[in-house]
Chains A and B, each alone.
Chain A
Amino acid sequence: MKHTLSVLVEDEPGVLSRVAGLFSGRGFNIISLNVAPTLEKNTSLMTIVTEGDEQIIEQIIKQLRKLITVIKVVDMNTVKTVEREMILIKVNAQNSARAEILRIVDIFRCKVVDVSPSEITIEATGNSEKLTALINLLHKFGIKEIARTGIVAMKRSMQLS
């Protein structure tokens, strides 16, 4: 099963390679990884999407906590969260296709961020299902390039059970 892990780390040189090295060295899988500074000085937040059975996920979390530079690890699968990912998609948009693509952009509430006579670049934000659906729909026009941020996640303020 996929798990999203929120990993708060000391922002110091090498911290990314400590975390990445742990995954590669122990044969764990990183599906996506996002890193950026937090509000607090000298700390960064990593959002790691990984995959494994219960025992593997338990090991991954424990191994992460064991790293001296890791401050906190939360398995976001154990709480209610908001998860979002941003994606940029460059798609073929010859005359006839343009209108249909723009309609899809509208329905998915995405944005057009770049246009040329033959292509449109779309920016979309959402959870993974929404983005997968969007990619599927755009497929037939010919997707030329994709760039994704990987998931970022946050615990919801209200944890309704």
Chain B
Amino acid sequence: MKMKGAQILLECLKQEGVEVIFGFPGGAVIDIYHELPKYPIKHFLVRHEQAAVHAADGYARATGKVGVVLVTSGPGATNTVTGIATAYMDSIPIVVFTGQVPRLLIGNDAFQEVDIVGITRPCTKHNYLVKDPEKLPQIIKEAFYIARSGRPGPVLVDLPKDIMASEIEAEYPKSVSLRSYNPHYEPNLKQVKKAVDLILEAKRPLIFAGGGVIASSGNKELTWLARTLQIPVTATLMGLGAFPGNDPLWLGMLGMHGTYVANMAINHADVVIAAGVRFDDRVTGRLDSFAPSAKIIHIDIDPTSIRKNVRVDIPIVADCKEALLALKEEISKRIKDKDLSERYQSWRDKLNAWNDAHPLTYKKSDEVIKPQFVIETLYELTGGDAIITTEVGQNQMWAAQHFKYLRPRTLLSSGGLGTMGYGFPAAIGAQVAFPDKTVIDIAGDGSIQMNIQELATAVWYNLPVKIIILNNSYLGMVRQWQELFYNRNYSATHLEYNPDFVKLAQAYGAEGYRATKPSEVKDVLKQALKSKKTCVVDMVVEKEENVYPMVPAGASLSEMLLV
């Protein structure tokens, strides 16, 4: 086919099955925008390019498909960087198309020229500057393939304007093969056998699930393993939803704000089955006292994750689902039809005792709204049937602790980068993917202001996202650290001049609600959940509430500060 570069791009996207693009136009991509309305691809115009990337990321996390972004050169491109880094840290498949100045001007400090390929090299899985028009289709094909395969991640493609504007002869390739990139999915069966030996000999086993289980859709296999052998389960923030949060075997999240029982479990376990995790410092605490008596089986598709932070006894480099499936087959062969429900009973009794001694809790109040109470009420009202996104800070941790995630892809949160401003645009992306589902952004009063302009986007496209602001008039998580470790020196964390969020919502054409007393919480949430419109709920909560348990940074997981 011979067409303009812009048409080739869109034709390729169509053939790739892209239905939705999040973007923002500008001079360098005007040729693409000129053609876009002729294609069966829905474009969502955001109000800031960072939000376009978070929205594509939220779309990708909610669906498992690749999210797509289109922005202009220069500032359009640089505005995407935070979003790209967010997706990179959490291994989310997105493809970002940036406009670039015409090839002849590259390197001349042309108007709105920036070396976005150079800037994003360390925070993309791979990136391209298209220099040769004939390679355009192949690069697009590779970009999608690389983004979604292996350990997923963001890929950026920089498109010089002259290539978009000129006629090119090109075909979209049917398949890709890259000699230097062959992700490895199948587990080594010897390693699987060794792992099963270890699991069946264990006295105090623990399953520890991460985002890799969700990315690979291995949650069913993981759940089978846990339930068949009656092994308790914990997870990272990224792994919430990989195992039902209402199952008796569920211990809660691990790590800095993990539950007492989960942290004690990893401290005492003799075998840890770590699936799709990367042992981030927020999860391990002090490394030399992490899982001190455990043999560790580590499943991950990325070889660099293995032995990066912790010692591993049985590494299995493979897709989590494939590896868990292989474990299942091997275990089934060995246990036949034995009833294993009594297995590890004394270990589970011990865990139950720990949990009874220090359950996840908070000081309740009739006078002032406790943020944890808001989350509990949300769970009660939705029955867990919602997609929750979060901002970053205390709101994020309370959302992780007090909502029960029953299915994968129901919690979308910036885990690795911890990006304030992520939650709302991610909710927009999720709502675009699932117009009929309840999508809720659990927000902080600080974070929400980082992408609040997207109210215009949500209202314009009739996206009934619910923003629940846990409004404590503080950058609460930083204030908590200041309170606990910096002598209560609340330097630059008091948000004394927050806007009136209800009026702000109304100004954008959204609905605004406010609750100031615990008795109002349920009603206000009910109204918002019932509404078919974009809603902002200003929950005026306890100002100096802290997130507990807390393992101070650098301490070992057993050194928890409790309520």
Listed in ascending order, the chain A residues whose CB lies under 8 Å from chain B are 9-10, 13-14, 17-18, 21-22, 25, 55, 58-59, 62-63, 65-66, 68-72
Contacts and interface: CB of A to CB of B under 8 A. Distances in A.
B350 interface: no
Nearest to B304: A62
From B125, B131, B180, residue with most partner A Cβ within 10 Å:
B180
A25 B122 contact: yes
Most A CB contacts (10 A, CB to CB) among B122, B304, B307 go to B304
A10 B121 contact: no
B178 A68 contact: yes
B174 interface: no
26 contacts: A10-B180, A13-B129, A13-B131, A14-B117, A14-B118, A14-B121, A14-B129, A17-B118, A17-B121, A18-B121, A21-B122, A25-B122, A55-B307, A59-B307, A59-B308, A62-B303, A62-B304, A63-B304, A65-B303, A66-B302, A66-B303, A66-B304, A68-B126, A68-B180, A69-B180, A71-B180
A21 B308 CA distance: 19
Interface of A: prevailing SS: helix
A68 B146 contact: yes
B180 A70 contact: yes
Contacts of A72: 180
- Specify the main secondary structure of chain B where it touches its partner: mixed
Contacts, number: 39
Contacts of A71: 179-180
Contacts of B303: 62, 65-66
A126 B307 CA distance: 36
Interface residues of B, number: 18
Contacts of A68: 125-126, 146, 178, 180-181
Interface in B122-165: 122, 125-126, 129, 131, 146
Nearest to A69: B180
A69 B307 CA distance: 23
A54 to B, nearest CB: 10
B412 to A, nearest CB: 25
Given A59-B304, A62-B304, A68-B146, 18 more contacts: A10-B180, A13-B131, A14-B118, A14-B121, A17-B118, A17-B121, A18-B121, A21-B122, A22-B122, A55-B307, A59-B308, A62-B303, A66-B304, A68-B125, A69-B126, A70-B180, A71-B179, A71-B180
A63 B303 CA distance: 8
Contacts of A69: 126, 180
B32 to A, nearest CB: 23
A126 to B, nearest CB: 33
Nearest to B117: A14
B280 to A, nearest CB: 15
Contacts of B118: 14, 17
Nearest to A60: B304
Nearest to B303: A62
B492 to A, nearest CB: 29
Nearest to A18: B121
Nearest to B131: A13
Contacts of B302: 66
Q: From A25, A62, A65, name the one whose CB has the most chain B CB atoms within 10 angstroms.
A: A62
Contacts of B131: 13
Contacts of B304: 59, 62-63, 66
Nearest to A9: B180
B96 to A, nearest CB: 16
Contacts of B178: 68
B181 to A, nearest CB: 5
- Which 7 pairs across A and B sit closest by C-beta, in order of nearness? A71-B180, A68-B126, A62-B304, A62-B303, A25-B122, A68-B181, A63-B304
Contacts of B129: 13-14
A21 B121 contact: yes
A64 to B, nearest CB: 10
A112 B368 CA distance: 87
A25 B122 CA distance: 8
A71 B129 CA distance: 20
Contacts of B146: 68
Contacts of B307: 55, 58-59
Contacts of A18: 121
A72 B307 CA distance: 21
